[in-house]
């Protein structure tokens, strides 16, 4: 009898204690919002898992592209010569681009060497300030950065010199070619036109989906020229400046790859009977020249070109 009563009292106390614990847990849950916290943690974990999955997909895609490039290189080597692969194994990937101060000095030298500073009475100090301002208005993207600007301009300078273009073009044309190359990707955000249009970005809305990036590069370029300390065209009369402005805009807009077919077809129609006295023919050739310079990494030595491919892929997959 005593044992049965003791068991009953113990069980009753245990249930009472359990009820108290339950009530305390409920109070803590209300006070500290434990359930909401659990839900938030679960959601964040799910987002992180999704992000890891997407990042993994990006890595897979990049690796696939790299493998495709390697296969193509092997195929090219087998068609050309057997020593190609042995030589490339010895190469150390590099961009082959000097440091920023040297790049600025080299660009400055190009303008002097082509006679542009002398012929157009450009203030050398203004030229320095302009190039510094150009440098500051390129973003730190993996691909579309100031190094890319330098490479494109250096290729334009090389083509002018090696092809003796100064014998065919006017000095105004040479000035337009060089200046368009320097300015062609100013303030590039790292996201291409397709992304801008699909995402309905501010740039796409502003330029009505028509070459939004290229229009933006032009706008930034002439915002810089509007600053007296950076205006290398300050000694030009209004009519001459209008010609340079229009020529520069035409070339920068030509770098939109959406217009590639249109520009190439137009050039093919003119090339067999090309006339350097025809302004339309000359403009078309200048458009082709800046397009060639813009994608010229692929004709550089493999150890220079290959790291740029990685940079382009990195920037491209940032959009995914």
- State the catalytic residues: 144
Q: Range with the lowest mean pLDDT among 86-100, 104-118, 142-156? A: 86-100
The rounded mean pLDDT for the chain is 82
Closest CA to 149 of 254, 297, 300, 294: 294
Place of tokens 């083509």: 159
Cβ atoms of residues 173 and 290 within 8 Å: no
Cβ atoms of residues 197 and 204 within 8 Å: yes
Give the per-residue pLDDT at 82: 36
Domains of the chain are 1-77 (no CATH), 98-319 (1.10.1300.10)
294 is in an annotated binding site: yes
Structure tokens at 53: 């999955």
Mean per-residue pLDDT, 90-95: 38
135 is in an annotated binding site: no
In tens, the pLDDT along 105-134 reads: 999 999 999 999 999 999 999 999 999 999
Closest CA to 146 of 102, 87, 194: 102
In tens, the pLDDT along 191-208 reads: 999 999 999 999 999 999
Mean per-residue pLDDT, 56-79: 55
pTM score over 0.85:
no
Mean per-residue pLDDT, 300-306: 91
Coil, strand or helix at 107: helix
From the DSSP assignment, how many helices (H) and strands (E) are in the chain? 15, 0
In tens, the pLDDT along 243-269 reads: 999 999 999 999 999 999 999 999 999
Mean per-residue pLDDT, 264-287: 96
Residues 6+ apart with CB under 8 A from 232: 122, 123, 126, 127, 130, 179, 225
Mean per-residue pLDDT, 16-40: 58
With vertex at residue 142, the alpha carbon angle to CA 69 and CA 161, rounded to the nearest 5 degrees, is: 80
DSSP string, 117-147: HHHTT--HHHHHHHHHHHHHTS---SSSSHH
How far apart, in whole angstroms, are the C-alpha atoms of residue 292 and residue 255?
9
């Amino acid at each position: 009898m005593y044992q049965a009563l003791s068991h009953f009292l113990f069980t009753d106390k245990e249930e009472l204690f359990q009820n108290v614990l339950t009530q305390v847990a409920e109070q803590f849950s209300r006070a500290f919002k434990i359930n909401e916290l659990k839900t938030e943690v679960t959601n964040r974990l799910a987002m992180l898992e999704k992000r890891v999955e997407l990042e993994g997909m990006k890595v897979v895609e990049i690796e696939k592209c790299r493998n495709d490039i390697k296969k193509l290189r092997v195929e090219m080597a087998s068609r050309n010569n057997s020593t190609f692969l042995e030589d490339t194994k010895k190469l150390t990937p590099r961009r082959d681009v000097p440091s920023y101060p040297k790049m600025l000095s080299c660009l400055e030298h190009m303008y002097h060497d082509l006679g542009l500073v002398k012929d157009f009475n450009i203030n050398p100090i203004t030229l320095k300030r302009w190039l510094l301002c150009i440098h500051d208005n390129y973003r730190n993207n993996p691909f579309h950065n100031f190094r890319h600007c330098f490479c494109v301009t250096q290729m334009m300078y090389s083509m002018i010199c090696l092809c003796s273009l100064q014998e065919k073009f006017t000095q105004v044309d040479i000035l337009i070619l060089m200046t368009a190359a320097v300015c062609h990707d100013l303030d590039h955000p790292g996201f291409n036109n397709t992304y801008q249009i699909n995402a309905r970005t501010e740039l796409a809305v502003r330029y009505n989906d028509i070459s939004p990036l290229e229009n933006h590069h032009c706008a930034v370029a002439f915002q810089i020229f509007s600053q007296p300390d950076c205006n290398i065209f300050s000694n030009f009369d209004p009519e001459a400046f209008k010609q340079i402005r229009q020529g520069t805009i035409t070339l920068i807009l030509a770098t939109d790859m959406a217009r590639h077919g249109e520009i190439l077809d137009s050039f093919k129609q003119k090339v067999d009977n090309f006339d350097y006295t025809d302004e339309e023919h000359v403009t078309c050739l200048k458009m082709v020249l800046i397009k060639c310079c813009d994608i010229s990494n692929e004709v550089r030595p493999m150890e220079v070109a290959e790291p740029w491919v990685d940079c382009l892929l990195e920037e491209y997959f940032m959009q995914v």
